[in-house]
Amino acid sequence: MRILLLGGTMEAKALAERLSRDGVDTLTSLAGRVSAQYEGKVRIGGFGGVAGLVRTITEGAFTVVVDATHPFAARISPNAVSASERAGVPYLRLERPAWMPVAGDDWRSVSDLEEAAAELPAGARAFLAVGAGGVEPFLRRTDVSLTIRVIKTPDTGAHPCAHVVSARGPFQAVDERILWDRHGIDWLVTKNAGGSATLPKLMVARERGVPVIMVDRPRGQPKPDATTVDEAMAIIAHHRSATAFGRKM
């Protein structure tokens, strides 16, 4: 078995560690946006679309593609499905579950960042947890205050009230409370990334009655085969000892 692991998430990093520990020949592929230390072999950069990915799979003699990319990485997963089919190797999608609202939450679901920006009322003091690449639609809303937490500082242009906070998760509820008090946050905008690393902001929104504009995951993405690293490892172990896990979409 030779695995091409498409990464860029905490789950991919954990899976690379587990596979390495089990002696499974694995190459992790990263787009180059996130910098993280991965266990085992790593390649960095795009493949050049489906054709390039098919070439990588066949020339590298990979026998399985494991897609553990981010739920909002909308292009690479459909490409990986097509490339796996064309190369004739099984495709496995590992994707963490989306967050679900619970009692006390005030969520407004939107389908994209443009819609999220339009949803903010004039005068809002919004906390944006949408990544540096997601900020642009909000910069046109010069009638709201923006607190933007990102790893990589974006250009906020001439926005009159944009505060950039450079930080990398995980974040605790106490971090959120301090930040939100400092900036008088009364709206939260976030992508439905799921996972625990950035979950406390939703708890703080709930405890304060702060409305949440929740950007839904992109549509038309492959359905997950596994939602945890343990589940993915079990499928891979089964595949190792038996036949393929087939599929897709």
C-alpha closest to that of 140 among 128, 157, 165: 157
Number of residues that bind ligand NAP (CB under 6 A): 24
Can residue 3 be called a binding residue for ligand NAP (CB under 6 A)? no
**Cα 119 from Cα 125, distance rounded (Å):** 13
C-alpha closest to that of 66 among 100, 22, 19: 19
Which position among 3, 4, 9, 190 is part of the footprint of ligand NAP (CB under 6 A)?
9
DSSP 153-166: PPP-TT-TTEEEEE
Kindly report the number of other CB atoms within 10 A of residue 191's CB atom: 23
Can residue 42 be called a binding residue for ligand NAP (CB under 6 A)? no
Can residue 6 be called a binding residue for ligand NAP (CB under 6 A)? yes
Can residue 72 be called a binding residue for ligand NAP (CB under 6 A)? yes
CA angle 72, 74, 76 (to 5 degrees): 120
Which position among 3, 15, 26, 29 is part of the footprint of ligand NAP (CB under 6 A)?
29
State the first-to-last Cα distance of the chain, in angstroms, to the nearest integer.
23
Query: Of 46 and 160, which CB lies nearer to ligand NAP in the complex structure?
Result: 46
From 31-39, 118-126, 141-149, 163-171, give the range in contact with ligand NAP by CB under 6 A.
Answer: 31-39
Can residue 192 be called a binding residue for ligand NAP (CB under 6 A)? no
Can residue 152 be called a binding residue for ligand NAP (CB under 6 A)? no
Can residue 123 be called a binding residue for ligand NAP (CB under 6 A)? no
